[in-house]
Chain A
């Protein structure tokens, strides 16, 4: 069964954060976590196994910053193919003999495209294509173009993933809550409705949202609803990965104050709004995912 077929049958559970877990495992702040796919694969595997044990149906590869443009900043560009292919293989290995979907992660290249910035579309196109090809070579079930704020960059990612032969392509936007209303927009001013229309036009198989400032479970549910209003007839699955609340600092350590219990309360509303793949972004842990699993199971038994 493909990811899309599975998501139409039942609600699938994603995973939680990777970056914060890597740091807990000893990655220094600002270090290149993606390089661990090659240098410390056991540590990445251990994190993803915890998510599988917590009940994840989908694992997102540890390749968020795995494009050449991002890896260049860490002097790791030469290993771009190996890092991404290994990322896909580790996630598959984490499922062991269980069925599960490996979502190959492509995050933003970390700058601004011309004419707003100084990076050409060609360069981003090459970087995303190369990353997508490595993820497909590693055997991913889908490619997730994540934390996107600009339609131009999103389009490059979606097209690169399709061209590389990804079995399923997911576009995921990062929205921020507006100051004077409950509406959300990306940093570049894109509304959920516009994003959904655009992704459908570009042939995305799943519409997703992740991360974002001030986007708690309730705001995420409202955004999913807007996606659903646009995608309604097409029956395209929707995926949501909200943050575990806003980060706060305690004793010079950053903590996310939304407990798994608080966060999980919002899960039924997310599903009712139309999400059929649910996971967590920044600050979420295997504990969050374990509770999500309980709620999803109870929800399915009740509906």
Chain B
């Protein structure tokens, strides 16, 4: 039997080769791809996220764990795609806003969100409102995530929010970055704010649920 607890622990420690090997072994034992993903990988990343949020671990540990997650995903993704499962995961379009070239935080959020099962479309840095909107449309994204490190570039966020609202797209907007505050997110009309990468993933989940609810209600 696959030892998911051990797999989670090794993922937490960033042992990417062993995590990949254990992923292969779990599949060879005939375990379900979705179960290996959820119990073997995502569950481990959840602990990473929680510990990061509580300052028990820091960026290096998260990056190493994310690499282990990726190593496992490399085995699972082709099988998920084959089954059509990949299409059921929600897509997040994310980028650092126009004028801002910083991407460490945004990349971290992307990795954590990927680790939680989201599909990420990363537009990189210096992203304009037009680029965000075009990508949301192309990928039918549920969430648009914006990041800024500078106080001087975060004021581009309301421009994106306005443009998205004007476009009529059914997409939730989440914002984050060092100078961004919940008050600012609220003031500019964003749907969610994440203080750190782990919180961002929780916000994404809430936003997906809220979007589903608003779609099913008459």
Q: In this assembly, does A29 line the interface, its C-beta being within 8 Å of a C-beta of chain B?
A: yes
Contact for A29 among B54, B60, B155, B187, CB less than 8 A: B155
Contact for A253 among B63, B99, B155, B181, CB less than 8 A: B155
A30-B102 contact given A179-B53, A282-B151, CB 8 Å threshold = no
B55 near A116 with CB under 8 A, answer no
How distant is the Cα of A180 from the Cα of B54 in the complex, in angstroms? 7
A292 CB, nearest partner CB in chain B, Å: 22
Name A161-203 residues within 8 Å CB distance of B: 178-181, 185-189
Name B88-123 residues within 8 Å CB distance of A: 98-104
A249 near B54 with CB under 8 A, answer no
* Contacting residues, chain A, for B59 (C-beta < 8 A): 112, 116, 149, 187-189
A30 near B99 with CB under 8 A, answer yes
* Contacting residues, chain A, for B183 (C-beta < 8 A): 248-249
Q: In this assembly, does A31 line the interface, its C-beta being within 8 Å of a C-beta of chain B?
A: yes
Q: In this assembly, does A111 line the interface, its C-beta being within 8 Å of a C-beta of chain B?
A: yes
Q: In this assembly, does A9 line the interface, its C-beta being within 8 Å of a C-beta of chain B?
A: no
Q: In this assembly, does A73 line the interface, its C-beta being within 8 Å of a C-beta of chain B?
A: yes
Q: In this assembly, does B4 line the interface, its C-beta being within 8 Å of a C-beta of chain A?
A: no
Contact with A along B155-180 (1 / 0, CB 8 A): 11010000000000000000000110
B155 near A249 with CB under 8 A, answer yes
Interface footprint category on B: 20 to 34
A178 near B55 with CB under 8 A, answer yes
* Contacting residues, chain B, for A31 (C-beta < 8 A): 99
Contact with B along A243-273 (1 / 0, CB 8 A): 0001111001110000000000000000000
A254 near B152 with CB under 8 A, answer yes
A127 CB, nearest partner CB in chain B, Å: 15
* Contacting residues, chain B, for A73 (C-beta < 8 A): 101
How distant is the Cα of A186 from the Cα of B57 in the complex, in angstroms? 11
Contact with A along B182-198 (1 / 0, CB 8 A): 01100100000000000
A36 CB, nearest partner CB in chain B, Å: 15
How distant is the Cα of A186 from the Cα of B58 in the complex, in angstroms? 9
Q: In this assembly, does A122 line the interface, its C-beta being within 8 Å of a C-beta of chain B?
A: no
* Contacting residues, chain A, for B178 (C-beta < 8 A): 213
B158 near A185 with CB under 8 A, answer no
Contact for B126 among A30, A189, A246, CB less than 8 A: A30
B91 CB, nearest partner CB in chain A, Å: 24
Q: In this assembly, does A87 line the interface, its C-beta being within 8 Å of a C-beta of chain B?
A: no
Q: In this assembly, does A26 line the interface, its C-beta being within 8 Å of a C-beta of chain B?
A: no
Contact with B along A269-280 (1 / 0, CB 8 A): 000000000000
B58 near A112 with CB under 8 A, answer no
Contact for A28 among B60, B99, B104, B154, CB less than 8 A: B99
How distant is the Cα of A99 from the Cα of B100 in the complex, in angstroms? 37
B155 near A19 with CB under 8 A, answer no
Q: In this assembly, does B38 line the interface, its C-beta being within 8 Å of a C-beta of chain A?
A: no
A151 CB, nearest partner CB in chain B, Å: 11
* Contacting residues, chain A, for B58 (C-beta < 8 A): 185-189
B179 near A29 with CB under 8 A, answer no
CB nearest to A186 among chain B residues: B58
Q: In this assembly, does B64 line the interface, its C-beta being within 8 Å of a C-beta of chain A?
A: yes
A30-B152 contact given A110-B101, A248-B183, A249-B183, CB 8 Å threshold = yes
* Contacting residues, chain A, for B99 (C-beta < 8 A): 28-31
Name B136-166 residues within 8 Å CB distance of A: 150-156, 158
B158 CB, nearest partner CB in chain A, Å: 6
Q: Which of B99, B151, B154 has the most CB of A within 10 A?
A: B151
B19 CB, nearest partner CB in chain A, Å: 16
A180 near B55 with CB under 8 A, answer yes
Q: In this assembly, does A23 line the interface, its C-beta being within 8 Å of a C-beta of chain B?
A: yes
A185 near B55 with CB under 8 A, answer yes
B54 near A179 with CB under 8 A, answer yes
| B contacts, CB < 8 Å to A | 53-55, 57-61, 63-64, 98-104, 126, 150-156, 158, 178-179, 181, 183-184, 187
4 closest pairs, A vs B, by CB?
Answer: A30-B99, A189-B58, A254-B151, A29-B152
| New A-B contacts (20) at CB < 8 Å, excluding given A31-B99, A116-B60, A117-B104 | A20-B151, A29-B155, A30-B99, A30-B101, A30-B126, A30-B152, A30-B153, A73-B101, A111-B103, A112-B59, A112-B63, A179-B55, A180-B55, A187-B59, A247-B151, A248-B183, A249-B154, A249-B181, A254-B152, A254-B154
